[in-house]
């Protein structure tokens, strides 16, 4: 199957939400990988990473995916979506049963709603920004797939992981396969 771009025109709210969920899920898998270590238990607000005990390749992979999410997906989501919608949140807020979520995705209507049922508006970016994000995302998705799916079989991917092959598990691989 040929590689498709994540989007070629401004994504609909449904597409932006879908991409956000994929990236947030991948990040949850990477940041909770057993080889990722923390100086203290992470919370919804802070995660102090233990860089002395976390493989550098794993840390840099997480950082690369996080930067991709922040730079190329979040601009298409409503402000504060990662703090207000569970499916778009960081791993620790997502796992916190006491965290208060304010927004939910209504798949049937194709909109985000707040707790009162009001529609949360998605931003509309200028065409030049959409084009820039789409191009960057296509390249970054290629590398994310290489890093997470091929680091044990592709020598170049293994080098990018710091020479350390890491198995991210079937759930992560299934999410990564959703990247276009």
Query: Is residue 78 included in any domain, yes or no?
Result: yes
Query: Is residue 5 included in any domain, yes or no?
Result: no
Tokens encoding 165: 């092959």
Query: Is residue 133 included in any domain, yes or no?
Result: yes
- Considering only CA atoms, which of 101, 119, 141, 117 is closest in space to residue 13? 119
Containing structural domain, residue 20? 13-176
CA atoms of 66 and 23, how far apart (whole Å)? 8
Residue 6 is predicted with a pLDDT of 60
Into how many domains does the chain fold? 1
Query: Is residue 18 included in any domain, yes or no?
Result: yes
- Give the DSSP letter of residue 74: G
- β-sheet bridge partners, residue 106: 111
Tokens encoding 5: 């771009």
pTM of the model: 0.93
Query: Is residue 53 included in any domain, yes or no?
Result: yes
CA atoms of 15 and 20, how far apart (whole Å)? 8
Q: In 10 A of CB 175, how many CB atoms?
A: 20
Query: Is residue 4 included in any domain, yes or no?
Result: no
What is the rounded end-to-end Cα distance, in angstroms, of the chain? Answer: 11
Q: Give, for all 180 residues of the chain, the pLDDT tens digit.
A: 344 446 778 999 999 999 999 999 999 999 999 999 999 999 999 999 999 999 999 999 999 999 999 999 999 999 999 999 999 999 999 999 999 999 999 999 999 999 999 999 999 999 999 999 999 999 999 999 999 999 999 999 999 888 989 999 999 999 999 997
């Amino acid at each position: 199957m040929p590689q498709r771009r994540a989007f070629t025109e401004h994504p609909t709210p449904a597409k932006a939400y879908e991409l956000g969920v994929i990236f947030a899920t991948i990040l949850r898998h990477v940041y909770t990988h057993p080889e990722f270590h923390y100086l203290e238990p992470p919370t919804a607000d802070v995660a102090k990473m233990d860089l002395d005990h976390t493989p550098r390749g794993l840390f840099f992979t997480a950082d690369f995916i996080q930067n991709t999410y922040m730079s190329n997906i979040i601009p298409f989501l409503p402000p504060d979506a990662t703090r207000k919608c569970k499916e778009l949140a960081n791993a620790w807020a997502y796992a916190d049963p006491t965290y208060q979520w304010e927004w939910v995705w209504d798949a049937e209507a194709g909109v985000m709603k707040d707790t009162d049922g009001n529609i949360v508006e998605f931003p509309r970016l200028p065409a030049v920004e959409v084009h820039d994000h789409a191009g960057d995302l296509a390249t970054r998705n290629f590398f994310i797939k290489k890093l997470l799916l091929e680091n044990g079989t592709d020598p170049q991917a293994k080098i990018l992981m710091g020479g350390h092959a890491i198995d991210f598990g079937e759930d992560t691989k299934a999410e990564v396969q959703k990247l276009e």
